[in-house]
C-alpha cells in the first residue's frame, strides 16, 4: 500500500498521483484527493464565499495585485493582446468568433486568437483563430501550429 493513500473525504484508497502536493503534511501530500477538493471548491456556497470576498477592499486589492503581477511578468503578451483587441474595435481585424477553429476537423466557432509567432511587436498580428479547447492545447504545446497547418493541407 506504499503507492496508495486513503482520501479523508470519500474514504477511497487512491493512487498517490491523485493527491495534490502539500509539504506541511508528513507524507508530503494533501489528505483529500483532487476530485474531492474540486467538488468542494465548486459548491454554490464556496462560489458565494469567493464572490463575497472579491467584493471587499482586501479582495479587490488581492485581485489587483494578481493582475499587476501578471502584467509585469507578461508585459509583451499583454501589449500584443491589447493591440489585437484595439484592432478588433477599430474593425481592422475580425473578432475570432467570426472564424472557424483552425484545428483540423474542428467545426467549432473560434473564441481566441493565438499569437503563433510570439509576442514581439513585428508578430502582434500573426494570429490564428482557435476554439477554447484547441487554443489551450496549442498554448500548452500538446498540439503544434505545424500539425494544424499540415492537417489542413492534407500532408
- Rounded Cα gap, residues 128 and 117, in angstroms: 10
Number of domains in the chain: 2
Measuring CA to CA, how many Å separate 13 from each of 36, 37, 40, 63? 13, 15, 19, 37
87-109: average pLDDT: 92
The model's pLDDT over 52-96, given as tens digits with 9 standing for 90+, comes to 999 999 999 999 999 999 999 999 999 999 999 999 999 999 999
Q: Which helix (H) or strand (E) holds 140?
A: helix 132-140
At residue 154, does pLDDT exceed 50? no
- Rounded Cα gap, residues 128 and 116, in angstroms: 7
* pLDDT at residue 74, rounded to an integer: 95
Residue 35 lies in a domain: yes
* Residue-range definition of the domain harbouring residue 121: 74-153
Report the predicted TM-score, pTM, of the whole model to 2 decimal places. Answer: 0.63
Same domain flag for 85 and 19: no
**Which parts of the chain are beta strand (E)?**
4-6, 13-15, 19-21, 29-33, 112-115, 127-130
Give the residue with greater pLDDT, 150 vs 42: 42
Amino acid at each position: 500500500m506504499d503507492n496508495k493513500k486513503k482520501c479523508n473525504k470519500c474514504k477511497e484508497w487512491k493512487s498517490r498521483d491523485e493527491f495534490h502536493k502539500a509539504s506541511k503534511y508528513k507524507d508530503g501530500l494533501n489528505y483529500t484527493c483532487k476530485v474531492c477538493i474540486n467538488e468542494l471548491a465548486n459548491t454554490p456556497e464556496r462560489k458565494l464565499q469567493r464572490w463575497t470576498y472579491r467584493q471587499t477592499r482586501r479582495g479587490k486589492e488581492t485581485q489587483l495585485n494578481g493582475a499587476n503581477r501578471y502584467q509585469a511578468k507578461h508585459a509583451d503578451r499583454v501589449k500584443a493582446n491589447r493591440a489585437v483587441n484595439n484592432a478588433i474595435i477599430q474593425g481592422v481585424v475580425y473578432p475570432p468568433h467570426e472564424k472557424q477553429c483552425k484545428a483540423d476537423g474542428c467545426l467549432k466557432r473560434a473564441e481566441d486568437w493565438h499569437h503563433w509567432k510570439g509576442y514581439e511587436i513585428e508578430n502582434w498580428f500573426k494570429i490564428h483563430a482557435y476554439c477554447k479547447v484547441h487554443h489551450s492545447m496549442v498554448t500548452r504545446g500538446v498540439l503544434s501550429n505545424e500539425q494544424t497547418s499540415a492537417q489542413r493541407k492534407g500532408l
